């Protein structure tokens, strides 16, 4: 099985997020990885649905959403809508 390449948006320059996502579009990456952290499940806080929706508008790749949050089942449908494939 061929490994998938999924660069994380968390490593992007947030001031130039669209530019960095479009760079991933032009790359051979398979997916765009989106880390969601709530500050409780893990100590860091990252981004949520509004940023996910914005990224979706600028990528042609599958969004791979990693929910590192307390009770992720509460947000599954919302993220499904924010990042449809």
**What are the sequence ranges of the domains in the chain?**
9-82
pLDDT of residue 7: 97
pTM: 0.86
DSSP string, 16-79: GHHHHHHHHHHSS-SEEEEEEEBSSSSS-B---HHHHHHHHTT-SSEEEEEEESSSGGGTHHHH
Q: What is the pLDDT of residue 81?
A: 86
Confidence of residue 84 (pLDDT cuts 50, 70, 90): confident
Give the pLDDT confidence of 4-60 residue by residue, as tens digits.
999 999 999 999 999 999 999 999 999 999 999 999 999 999 999 999 999 999 998
């Amino acid at each position: 099985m061929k490994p998938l390449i999924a660069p994380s948006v968390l490593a992007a320059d947030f001031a130039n997020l669209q530019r960095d996502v479009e760079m991933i579009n032009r790359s051979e990456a398979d997916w765009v990885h989106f880390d969601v952290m709530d500050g409780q499940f893990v100590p860091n806080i990252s981004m949520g649905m509004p940023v996910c929706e914005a990224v979706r508008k600028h990528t042609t790749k599958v969004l791979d959403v990693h929910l590192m949050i307390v009770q992720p089942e509460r947000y599954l449908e919302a993220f499904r809508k924010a990042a449809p494939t």
